[in-house]
């Protein structure tokens, strides 16, 4: 009986399926967070949380986000969407608010 030390190492990456479509991952090669859209050859096709163009990522480098990281990323994306919308409407985005805002007009 052998301890298996004389066998070649098992190719873990080849056997592991990697993240499935819909999984949120961090791509350290780009520093971005993305959602797995699917496979593209031997790579993964990712898209940003807030939508947009896809990019290729090496499945051996990406890692799944923790629940806390995903929540933080979703909050950051929601805040960015709000800032963009406010800028389009010409509203202040510096955090000081505006005269005549909904909070002031209702007396809250």
Digit-coded pLDDT (tens) for 83-102? 989 988 888 766 555 544 44
For 15-69, give the DSSP string: H---SPTT-EEEETTTTEEEEEEEEETTEEEEEETT----EEE-TTT-EEPPHHH
What is the pLDDT, as a whole number, of residue 95?
Answer: 58
Domain 18-91 has CATH 2.30.30: yes
Cα of first residue to Cα of last residue in the chain, in angstroms, is 77
What is the pLDDT, as a whole number, of residue 97?
Answer: 54
What is the pLDDT, as a whole number, of residue 2?
Answer: 47
**Sites in the chain below the pLDDT cut of 70:** 1-17, 93-108
- The answer to whether 49 and 77 have CB atoms below 8 angstroms apart is yes
- The answer to whether 61 and 28 have CB atoms below 8 angstroms apart is yes
Domain boundaries, the chain: 18-91
- The answer to whether 7 and 53 have CB atoms below 8 angstroms apart is no
In which residue are the tokens 């933080």 written? 72
């Amino acid at each position: 009986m052998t301890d298996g030390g004389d066998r070649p190492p098992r190719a873990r990456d080849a056997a592991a399926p990697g993240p499935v479509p819909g999984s949120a991952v961090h791509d350290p090669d780009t520093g971005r967070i993305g959602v797995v859209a699917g496979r593209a050859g031997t790579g993964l096709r990712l898209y940003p949380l807030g939508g947009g163009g896809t990019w290729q990522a090496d499945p051996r480098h990406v890692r799944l986000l923790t629940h806390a990281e995903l929540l933080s990323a979703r909050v950051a994306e929601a805040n960015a969407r709000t800032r963009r919308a406010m800028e389009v409407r010409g509203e202040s985005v510096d955090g000081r608010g505006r005269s005549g805002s909904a909070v002031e007009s209702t007396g809250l």
